[in-house]
Amino acid sequence: ARDSHAVASSSRVQIQIRKQELEVDKYFVKSKLYFKIVTAIMQYKYESAIQFCIESKLPALAIEILVRLERWNQAKELAKSTNGVHLDTVNRRQASAAAKKRDVALAKTLYLESGGYAEAIQLIGANKCGKWEEEILDILEMVPGKNDLAIAAATSVFEGSEVDQ
């Protein structure tokens, strides 16, 4: 009985050691992969970095690289291939970039597509072009449910315009 207990104990120890070895192996594979990705980025080989990310099932990282390169269509395609999980993020980042470049129409459209109602309202309020008050009220009507951020943004814009006058 002591021998069978010793054998069982020994095999449990062997299994535990093997599990730890596998964890270490996984860690080294991942770190080698990250090293390849970082090296490719540092050498400005973005296509390689993106490919490494996709091969290693890291779509969010590939999308981030594409966004930083402002390759919006590629980023959106990749986001769609991941069940659209990152699509709103890509749209908001593109909207932010468009706003910085003063492309208000594109920025507003992208913010609204991604549910960024408050951002769209702030953008309209900052530019105050045309019938901006009506535009803000239209957006507030579009907002699904109660969106405190959109309401706060609209309130802030309207209060700010009263101060301007």
Find the mean pLDDT for residues 134-152: 86
Q: What is the pLDDT of residue 1?
A: 61
* 155: Cβ contacts below 8 Å, ≥ 6 apart: none
| Percent of the residues in the chain that have a pLDDT greater than 70, as a whole number | 92
Q: pLDDT (tens digit, 9 = 90+) per residue, 11-54?
A: 777 888 878 877 777 777 778 888 888 899 999 999 999 999 99
Q: Are 41 and 25 in contact (CB under 8 A)?
A: no
CA pair distance 144, 115, nearest whole angstrom: 9
Q: pLDDT (tens digit, 9 = 90+) per residue, 44-81?
A: 999 999 999 998 888 999 999 999 999 999 999 999 99
Q: What is the pLDDT of residue 162?
A: 64
CA pair distance 20, 33, nearest whole angstrom: 20
Torsion over CA: 51, 106, 88, 128 (sign): positive
Q: What is the pLDDT of residue 157?
A: 87
Q: Is the pTM of this model over 0.95?
A: no
Q: Are 137 and 148 in contact (CB under 8 A)?
A: no
Type of residue found at 29? V
Torsion over CA: 32, 35, 41, 42 (sign): negative
Q: What residue has token string 């296509």?
A: 47
Q: How many CB atoms lie within 10 A of CB 59?
A: 17
Q: What is the pLDDT of residue 160?
A: 80
